[in-house]
Amino acid sequence: MDVAWGAWRPDVGGPNSGFAKTANNVLPQAAAGGIGYGPLPSLLTATGAEALSGAPRGVIAVQKASGSYAVFAATSTTIETMDSAYQWTDVETGRTVTSGDDVSFCYFGKYLLNSDTTDGFKAYDVELGGTNSAVSGAPGARALFSSNNVVFALGSSSNNRRMQSSAIGDHTNWTTNGADGKTFEDGGALVGGRDLKNGVAAIWQDGAVRLVRFGGGAALYTIQKLAEGRGAVSDRSIVAFDGMAFWPATDGFYKLTGDGAIVPIGAEKVNRWLASQLASSGYDEVQGAADPFQKVIWWRLGGLLLIGYDWQLDEFFTATQATSALTRIATPGVTLDSLTTSYLDSMTGALDSRTYLGGVTLFGALDASYKFATFSGGAAEATLQTMDIAMPNSALVTWASPNSDADNSTLQLGVSDNRNTGLAWGSSASRATSGRVPLRGRGKIIGFRETIPADESWTFANGVNDVVLAQGGVR
C-alpha cells in the first residue's frame, strides 16, 4: 500500500478523502499524482536587531531614488524608521492611532504618506527627512493607496463612506486638476484599496467590492461594483501582487483578478476551518503579506498561526511561527566595514543568504518581540499527516517507508476501529538502515504522521510507501 499526503483540505471530512489532514511548516510543490511538500524556512531575527517601541500598527519598505531601501513602522503612538543596523529611530511621536485601525502608508513620489482618522493625513520626505507634516486640505483617511499617479483617501472620521482622490501627481491638491470625490450610499464603510496594474485598482467596503478603471471616457476614472454583500473586514488583510488581490471575507478566502473576476479560493478547502480558528471579531485582526519569491500569500491568524496560499498551485497550508506583523520588507544590507569579529560571531544564517545582500525585498516579519526578521533560517520543524484510511477488515501494520529524503524524520501510526473516534497514535519511530520504519498497530482505520526536525536538510516529502499490513477478519 502507498499513501500520498495529498493537498491539505481540512474542510473535507471522513476517511479516504485523498487529502492531507495536516500540512504544517511546509511549502506545497508538484509531485507525481498530485501535491507533495518541501521545507519552509524558519523565521530568523536579524543580528543585533532592536525592538520597535510598541506593537506594530503598519509596516512598509520603500525604495529611494538612490535604489536603497528605507523601512518604516508605526505603533499606536509613533512612526519609526529602521537603519542598516536594524535600529529604530523616531520619525514622529505623540500620535493617537485610531483604535482598531493601523496607520495606512502610501509611498507617492518621494513622500511617505500616512494617515489614520485620528491623526489625519501627513507626509514625510523620504529623501530629505525632516518632519512628518500635516497636509493642508487632505482628508484624514482610514486608508490610502495610489493608482495611475493619483492618491485615493478612503473613509474619514466624519463619513466612513466618503472617498476622495487627489489631483494628478499632487497629493497636496484635493480640489482641482482631476481631484474628485464620491460618497457611496451602499456597501457600508470603506475599508481599503489596492492598485492592481495597468490603470486598474480595487476598493473594498464592509459589504461591497468595486473596480476602478482609468481612461476610456471623459471622466478620469470609472467605478464599477463587482460584489454586493461581500467585502473585506480590514485593510490589513488585503494583499495585492502583480495584478491580483487576495483577502479573507467572513465567509472565506477570495481572489480578485485585474479583469474584475472574483474567485472563491477557499471554498470546500479551508473556509470552515478558518471560521473555527477565529471568533467573529477575530477576522479584524487577520493581517497579510506576499512572498513573491515563493509565490505565496500569507495571513497571520494570531501570534503563532499562519495560513499560506500558493497562488500558482492553488493550495493552502499552515505554519507556526511567532510573529507580530508580516510584510514584504527590504534588508538594509551588510557592508564590509560592518563585518567585525563580534558581528560575524553573532550572525545567524549563511553569509550568502539573501538576507545579507541588501536592497533585496523579502517576505519578512517583525518577530514576537517586534524585531526585524526574515524567513531565511533553517527548515522549520514540519508535520504532515495523511487522511484516515478506512478498510473493510482490521489490519495489523508492521512497516512503512516515508517517501521523503528527510533522513532524520520520524513516523507515527494511528489506528482506530470506529469512525466516530479519533486515531490513537503510537510512538514516533525512526528509519532502519533499509529506510523502512518499524511500526505496530491494529485497526480498521489507520493513518500516518511524519515529523521532520528543525534544520533538517531535505527537499521533498510526498507520502508513505510500502506499507506492510496483514489483513484480519471483519470486526
> What residue ranges define each of the domains in the chain, with the CATH number in brackets?
3-40+381-471 (2.60.120), 44-379 (2.130.10.10)
DSSP calls for 185-211:
SSS-SEEEEEE-SSSEEEEEESSEEEE
Rounded Cα distance, 128 and 431, in Å:
60
3-state helix, strand, coil in the chain (%, to 5): 5, 50, 45
Residue count of the chain, please give it.
Answer: 475
Rounded Cα distance, 208 and 187, in Å:
5
First to last CA, the chain: 21
Partners of 362 in beta bridges:
329
- Listed in sequence order, the residues at least 6 apart from 219 whose beta carbon sits closer than 8 Å to its beta carbon are none
Give the pLDDT confidence score for residue 13 in this predicted structure: 87
Give the pLDDT confidence score for residue 473 in this predicted structure: 52
Give the pLDDT confidence score for residue 329 in this predicted structure: 77
CA of 15: how far to CAs of 271, 390, 439, 446, in Å? 20, 6, 21, 9
Rounded Cα distance, 162 and 157, in Å:
10
CB 315 within 8 A of CB 31: no
Q: What are phi and psi of 303, to 5 degrees?
A: -65, -30
Q: Give every strand in the sheet of 79-82, ordered side by side.
A: 59-63, 69-74, 79-82, 88-92
DSSP calls for 401-432:
EEEES-TT-EEEEEEES-TTSPPEE---EE--
DSSP calls for 101-151:
-PPEEEEETTEEEEEETTTEEEEEETTT----EE-TT---EEEEEEETTEE
Rounded Cα distance, 335 and 341, in Å:
13
Rounded Cα distance, 78 and 91, in Å:
7
Rounded Cα distance, 312 and 12, in Å:
22
- Tens digit of each residue's pLDDT (9 = 90 or more) over 244-266: 999 999 999 999 998 999 999 99
Give the pLDDT confidence score for residue 300 in this predicted structure: 96
- Tens digit of each residue's pLDDT (9 = 90 or more) over 41-71: 999 999 999 999 999 999 999 999 998 889 9
Scored b (16 or more CB within 10 A) or e, 139-156 reads bbbbbbbbbbebbbbbbb
Give the pLDDT confidence score for residue 336 in this predicted structure: 40
- Listed in sequence order, the residues at least 6 apart from 365 whose beta carbon sits closer than 8 Å to its beta carbon are 43, 321, 323, 324, 325, 326, 327, 329, 373, 374, 375
C-alpha cell of residue 119: 491623526
**Could you tell me how many helices (H) and strands (E) the chain has, helices first?**
2, 39
C-alpha cell of residue 458: 531535505
- Listed in sequence order, the residues at least 6 apart from 13 whose beta carbon sits closer than 8 Å to its beta carbon are none
Report DSSP state, residue 167: B
Give the pLDDT confidence score for residue 216 in this predicted structure: 76
pLDDT per residue rounded down to tens, the chain (475 residues): 899 999 999 999 889 999 999 999 999 999 987 999 999 999 999 999 999 999 999 999 999 999 888 999 999 999 999 998 999 999 999 999 999 999 999 999 999 999 999 999 999 999 999 999 999 999 999 999 999 999 999 999 999 999 999 999 999 999 999 999 999 999 999 999 999 999 999 999 999 999 999 987 789 999 999 999 999 999 999 999 999 999 999 999 999 998 999 999 999 999 999 999 997 668 889 999 999 999 999 999 988 999 999 999 999 999 999 999 999 877 654 444 444 444 344 445 444 444 444 456 788 999 999 999 999 999 999 999 999 999 988 999 999 999 999 999 999 999 999 888 899 999 999 999 999 999 999 999 999 999 999 999 999 999 999 999 997 655 5
Give the pLDDT confidence score for residue 446 in this predicted structure: 97
Q: Give me the residue label for grid cell 503579506.
A: 289
